[in-house]
Amino acid sequence: MSTVLLTGATGLVGRICLDLLLQDPYFKEVRVISRRPLYHEDPKLKEFITDFNNLESLAGEFEAEIVICCLGSTIKDAGSREQFMKIDHDYPVQIAQIAHRKGSRHFMVISSIGASKSSLFFYSRVKGMMEDNVKMLPYESISIFQPSLIDGERKEVRVMEQLSLKMSRPLGKLLQGSLKKYRPIAAQDIARAIIHAAKNNLPGIHYYTGDKIKDCSDRYSL
């Protein structure tokens, strides 16, 4: 049985991860660091509300074997490139640093397909820099999830994302071979894959895209 720390629990994938973690007997305690209350009661749940600009103040609560970071935004939702950089790079890296210092063994983070510090696209470049900085930390295990468009019902409205999903859903089956990783993927599958990988706890650095995410999701069981 393991203790897990979850951030991003109010987001699309994070909400599903939280439900699975609370249901799964493998996890004895679920610690959540969030900016907003979850309004969720469960004996396994420990909730800590904080401004993410002050994560060090909660460093004592980072003592968990496994860390799952589901933080993520868009430039539009964040309000600026600078704020997007904070949410999708600075916060995940700082969480990884604090958690490792407190003894965490496995860090798991949602990134994006095409993430690369040399990308021409700002979004992908930020994700790539985040990945590189996380990989510098000497964790026993690092799991990086690189989904394409995430399919699911968000609380916030992302117009461009919804339009992209409408176009890509019917075209997804046409993407074969090395292009299959660009198919939209259900938030439920990403969350199930994350929890499956958390329980397997494979040593080393592992990437999960398209088919691998779906395969892990299919193999997950409580």
Active centre residues (catalytic): 123, 127
Cα–Cα dist 164/23, whole Å: 33
Q: How far is 10 from 131, CA to CA, in rounded Å?
A: 22
In the block, tokens 């439920």 appear at 188
Backbone angles phi, psi at 156, to 5 degrees: -90, 155
Determine contact, residues 120/80, Cβ cutoff 8 Å: no
SS3 label, residue 46: strand
Q: If we measure between CA atoms, which residue out of 162, 128, 158, 164 comes closest to residue 146?
A: 128
Q: What's the CA dihedral at 17, 18, 21, 27 to 10 degrees?
A: 120
Buried b / exposed e over 161-198, threshold 16 CB at 10 Å, is beeebeebeeebeebeeeeebbbbbbbebbbbbbbbbb
